């Protein structure tokens, strides 16, 4: 099942029309239709708007065949992956029934960014640069992360990120939200990532 099919399924489960979802998400009905029919792929920011409107985590758009458990063990070739615009997210905590810690491997295409609008959510955020170079800006202060560098901060501080490297950048991102996990994930990935063309 692709993102468009999953969106249509989630919308139908909530008995929402495209117009109602449009009003709740702030997206045009035409945009939603193009996504549902697979004629366009949503950016992370667009998907975040949809997930927030549907009140689901961004992971609801991941294809996972794992049964919920209290132990999350996933082989690297079996973990759920989702591509959003210029970012790929790999869910490292897949299968855990209820977790307040959300670990991801995030791969950013060259020169991609979270956009000009700052991200704000509850809890804490930990970033560890695996490869490439990523620039985090927190309260207008820059932090350049290169392989082996890490960053831990309170997520209520306005922040944004960008791959300033001509190669893909890969990070370990761990979100520890204090509200519902879906809310911080949604604010972080779907609303603030630029559209892919």
- Residue of 68 and 8 predicted with greater confidence: 8
Domain count, the chain: 1
pLDDT at 66 exceeding the cut of 90: no
The better pLDDT of the pair 91, 139 is held by 139
Question: Which of 71-80, 121-130, 181-190 is the least confident region?
Answer: 181-190
The pTM for the full model equals: 0.68
Confidence label for 188 from pLDDT (cuts 50, 70 and 90): low
Backbone dihedral region for residue 16 (phi beyond 0: left; psi -120 to 50: alpha; all else: beta): beta
Which CATH number fits the domain that encloses residue 167?
A: 2.60.120.10
47 band by pLDDT with thresholds 50, 70 and 90: confident
Buried b (16+ CB within 10 A) or exposed e, 163-195: bbbeebbbbbbbbbbeeebbbbbbbbbbbbbbb
Q: Residue 86 is part of which domain span?
A: 1-197
Confidence band of 185 (pLDDT split at 50, 70, 90): low
Who wins on pLDDT, 179 or 78?
A: 78
DSSP state of 188: I
């Amino acid at each position: 099942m692709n993102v468009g099919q999953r969106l249509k399924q989630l919308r139908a489960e909530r008995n929402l029309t495209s117009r109602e979802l449009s009003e709740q998400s702030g997206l045009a009905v035409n945009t939603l239709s193009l996504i549902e029919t697979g004629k366009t792929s949503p950016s992370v920011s667009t998907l975040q708007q949809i997930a927030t409107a549907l009140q689901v985590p961004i992971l609801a758009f991941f294809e996972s065949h794992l049964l919920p458990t209290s132990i999350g063990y996933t082989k690297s070739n079996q973990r759920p992956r989702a591509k959003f615009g210029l970012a790929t997210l790999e869910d490292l905590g897949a299968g855990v029934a209820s977790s307040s810690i959300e670990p991801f491997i995030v791969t950013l295409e060259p020169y991609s960014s979270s956009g000009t609008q700052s991200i704000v959510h509850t809890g804490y955020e930990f970033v560890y640069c695996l490869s490439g170079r990523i620039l985090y800006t927190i309260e207008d202060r820059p932090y350049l992360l290169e392989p082996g560098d890490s960053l831990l901060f309170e997520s209520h501080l306005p922040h944004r990120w960008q791959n300033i490297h001509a190669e893909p950048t890969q990070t370990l991102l761990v979100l520890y939200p204090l509200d519902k996990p879906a809310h911080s994930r949604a604010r972080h990935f779907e609303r603030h990532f630029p559209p892919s063309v």
